[in-house]
Amino acid sequence: MAVKNSTISKEKKAEYKKKIQEFCLMDDTFMSKVFEDKKCTEELLRIILEKDDLKIKNLKTQYVIDNLQGHSIRLDIRAVDGKGKIYDIEIQNDNNGAVPKRARYNSSIIDANELEKGEDYDKLPETYIIFITKNDILGGNKLIYHIDRTIKEMRNCYFGDEAHIIYIYSQKKSRTELGKLMHDFYCKNADEMYNKTLAKRVKHFKENIKGVNEMCAIMEELRKETIIETKLEDIKNIMNNFNVTVEKAMSTLKISKDDYAMYIEMLSKK
């Protein structure tokens, strides 16, 4: 999310500061800021994949991939390593956000956007869809699950499509390196974290003035976006229920005429 310059009242800023202290890495907004840092995301992937030499070339958080034929997807973290492998990392507190078909869909949309017209299928990069979930979605009481396509008639040998899915049950207790990493995802206090790289970044956004101010600005933008989305739904409801024009609906809601063009444009994209 791009942070815009925004004036925040003292009362609202004090409210945001209290909320920031309650954040942990399982919170979307906070997690996105922490893992904007390449070193933090490299640390995360190295531990999950057990690859100490993994290096990230490109990194984006809250990255949207548009799909003109259906649902677009927003990736919490999208990373590409030096070998061109793509990593989609999702934090999911809600079971519905991490169902197996969601993993399948994310994988398909990533593939569809990576291959240019006329390119050979061998050009498709190796992909990892990684869900870090609050609950044990797959029900096996395991810390980590690795899902790959296999061939039944060949003793379940690996199919070789290089499309991997990984689920991590974040609340599963374990003294392994991954278990300690998941412990860190629930820490509100950086001093209680095992991983020093992540702890330093968390402390920056909770204790450093610049980091705290950046988080406050993001929270203010999210608040404004929520207000706009709510008004957008109200406009649509009035139009549908009373069969009126968009202008009449906005007038009924006493929306400033200066904002008419913005809402009309947003409605055209829905």
**What's this model's pTM, rounded to 2 decimal places?**
0.86
Residues 33-51 have a mean pLDDT of 97
pLDDT recorded at residue 270: 63
Least confident residue range of 11-20, 92-101, 112-121, 134-143: 112-121
Amino acid found at 62? Q
Residues 177-182 have a mean pLDDT of 98
Phi-psi region of 167 (alpha: psi -120 to 50; beta: other; left: phi over 0): beta
Residues 230-241 have a mean pLDDT of 94
Say whether pLDDT at 144 is over 60: yes
Antiparallel, parallel or unpaired: β 163-169 and 127-133: parallel
Say whether pLDDT at 35 is over 90: yes
pLDDT recorded at residue 39: 97
* Position with higher pLDDT, 28 vs 50: 50
The pLDDT-based confidence of 71 (bands split at 50, 70, 90) is confident
Helices 177-184 and 196-207 cross at an angle (nearest 10°) of: 0
The pLDDT-based confidence of 3 (bands split at 50, 70, 90) is very low
pLDDT recorded at residue 260: 93
pLDDT recorded at residue 190: 97
Q: What number of other Cβ atoms are within 10 A of residue 3's Cβ?
A: 14
For 4, 15, 19, 203, the CA distances from 214, given in Å and listed in that order, are 10, 14, 13, 13
The pLDDT-based confidence of 49 (bands split at 50, 70, 90) is very high
pLDDT recorded at residue 268: 85
For 14, 167, 171, the CA distances from 174, given in Å and listed in that order, are 37, 15, 9
Dihedral angle sign, alpha carbons of residues 59, 64, 69, 71 = positive
Say whether pLDDT at 188 is over 90: yes
Say whether pLDDT at 1 is over 50: no
Say whether pLDDT at 119 is over 90: no
pLDDT tens for each residue of 206-225: 999 999 999 999 999 988 98
pLDDT tens for each residue of 79-93: 999 999 999 999 999
Report the mean per-residue pLDDT for the chain. 93
Give dist(CA 145, CA 132) in Å, integer: 11
Helix, strand, or coil here: 6? Answer: coil
pLDDT recorded at residue 6: 56
pLDDT recorded at residue 5: 45
